[in-house]
Structure 1
Amino acid sequence: MIRSESFWDIRDTGLGSWVWRKLLKLRETAKQFLSTEVHNGQTTRFWTDMWHPRGRLIDIAGESGTFKLGIARSALICDVRNEAGWGFRRCRDRDMRELISLVEDHPLPENRQAQDAVLWRKNDTDFCKHFSTSETWHRIRTHYPSQDWSKVVWFSYRVPRFAFITWLA
């Protein structure tokens, strides 16, 4: 969170450093790698965090969903879910009823003593609690076959400056 906003909702105003603007542009790529494992729901936002398999609920319901269901945009899961289950307001809107059924049909772990955990995509189907730069790089990069000339440029006794210039050429 940055101040009172979520990283996923901050608008790119063109202000800030080059790195910050690049991070904001990579959010869509990062979304596919993140998930949240909900336990007690005290750190996971109901609308804006990626805890549901369908993604952020605010993207499904839109801004009007917060008004129709009477759940604040900044509400945590523990504010909406208690020991008895989900506490949704009655709603006649068909889209909101579909959203409610999506949420109720998604099982959450019963261990409410544990903290919520942010998970990182390990492979196509599994998430894990640790982040690996190399695994992530191999998942997002475009794979090309090794070139014959690569051993001429990248050999063990090369001068780095010359190797870089040769590689650029």
Structure 2
Amino acid sequence: MLQLKDQLHTFLRCGIGDGNTALFWYDYWAELGPLHLLFGTTGSRSLRIPLTATVSRAVTNGHWNLPPARSDFAETLQVILSTTTVPTSTSGADVYLWRLSSGGFGPSFSSRVTWERLRVATPMVPWHTVVWFKEEIPRCSFISWTAFLGRLPTRDRLISWGLSVPPGCALCSLADESISHLFFLCPFAVAIWTRFCGRYLASRPTSLADIVRLCQQLSGPHASRAVIVLKLLNQVIIYSLWRERNTRIFTGVSSTQEAIFRRVDRAMRDRLLSLSRPTASAPSPSLLELYFWFLDPYS
């Protein structure tokens, strides 16, 4: 608990008013930081202030009241307090201040600012917009995200962990199961992707990186909106193939390629039908109409 409080002091300060709320030893109210970190376990005894005391305990008759300094730390504290405003009842309540984006401190807390300062920033991955976009289906985007991270427990990964599992693809049994094979190279997956080739997809993708490239380079009428359909289609196909793979492994029940295609088609229609249509001021095909172009490249 103390370690958590110590980390919190990086983002939290305390502005002293009447001194009745701020903890003398544990809050960051003096320039020296939390005093318990400076004085250690003997601080309470040397300054004659209990560990649970508030800052007001160090004030008597409107003046700071500490015993004579017996260490360099105590002497430094007294020097700092000599230029620190003494808490009074007319100064209002103590105020906790949170780290701002500018680096200073203010009375309002922002989870976004705090998170940005807590997290370790890494370069943005090129596939983030293929996974996260407002038209996504959450259950599908999660599986897609896990696939891009290489974290799906495909059989090649299970074997690398030392588990004794058959290496063959659960959908075709023609090659070892991996993310690339399962979603793009397996004949079962190839058959699903081929159904959508034509106007926007000249050929089926062969890897996750290929999907990113296709989304970045998609051209043709209404390409900026068609790329939304392509990203959603990628996620729905990956989700449907992963679900079919698990069903075969854990229940022994198999679906045909046509059944999987219809499952993908139904999910795409339901999601795109729920999205708003273009406005009259900017006429263009709806996302659902663009999806029909994937199904019928000559429409």
Give the shorter-chain TM-score range: 0.7 to 0.9
Aligned to 2:31: 53
Q: Distance in 2 between matches of 1:64 and 1:42?
A: 23
- 1:125-136 → structure 2 map (5 Å cutoff): 125-136=103-114
Conserved 8 A contact 2:19-2:93 = yes
Which residue, out of 28, 33, 38, partners 2:16? 38
Which residue, out of 124, 137, 140, partners 2:118? 140
Aligned to 1:68: 46
Q: In structure 2, give the amino acid aligned to 1:66.
A: S
Conserved 8 A contact 1:61-1:99 = no
Q: Which runs of 5+ in 2 are unaligned?
A: 148-299
SS in 1 for 2:97: strand
Question: Cα distance 1:70–1:150, how it changes in 2: closer, same or farther (>3 A)?
Answer: closer
Q: Distance in 2 between matches of 1:111 and 1:123?
A: 32
Q: Distance in 2 between matches of 1:122 and 1:109?
A: 25
- 1:4-19 → structure 2 map (5 Å cutoff): 9=2
Conserved 8 A contact 2:64-2:86 = no
Aligned to 2:264: none
SS in 2 for 1:35: strand
Say how many residue pairs are matched: 147
Measure how far apart 1:158 and its partner are.
Answer: 2.3
Q: In structure 2, give the amino acid aligned to 1:55.
A: G
* Residue 88 (structure 1) aligned with residue 80 (structure 2): no
Measure how far apart 1:152 and its partner are.
Answer: 2.0
Q: In structure 1, give the amino acid aligned to 2:24.
A: F
Which residue, out of 120, 133, 140, partners 2:98? 120
Q: Distance in 2 between matches of 1:55 and 1:91?
A: 18
Measure how far apart 1:57 and its partner are.
Answer: 0.7
Conserved 8 A contact 2:62-2:86 = no
Aligned to 1:157: 135
Q: Distance in 2 between matches of 1:165 and 1:115?
A: 50
Q: In structure 2, give the amino acid aligned to 1:104.
A: S
Aligned to 1:16: none
Q: Distance in 1 between matches of 2:133 and 2:24?
A: 52
Q: Distance in 2 between matches of 1:145 and 1:46?
A: 41
Measure how far apart 1:108 and its partner are.
Answer: 5.6
Conserved 8 A contact 1:119-1:129 = yes
Question: Cα distance 1:87–1:108, how it changes in 2: closer, same or farther (>3 A)?
Answer: closer
* Segments ≥4 residues shifted beyond 6 Å: none
TM-score normalised to structure 2 length:
0.44
TM-score normalised to structure 1 length:
0.73
Measure how far apart 1:154 and its partner are.
Answer: 2.0
Question: Which structure has more helix as a fraction of its residues?
Answer: 2
Question: Cα distance 1:149–1:94, how it changes in 2: closer, same or farther (>3 A)?
Answer: closer
Measure how far apart 1:153 and its partner are.
Answer: 1.8
Q: What is the aligned-residue RMSD (CA, Å)?
A: 2.4
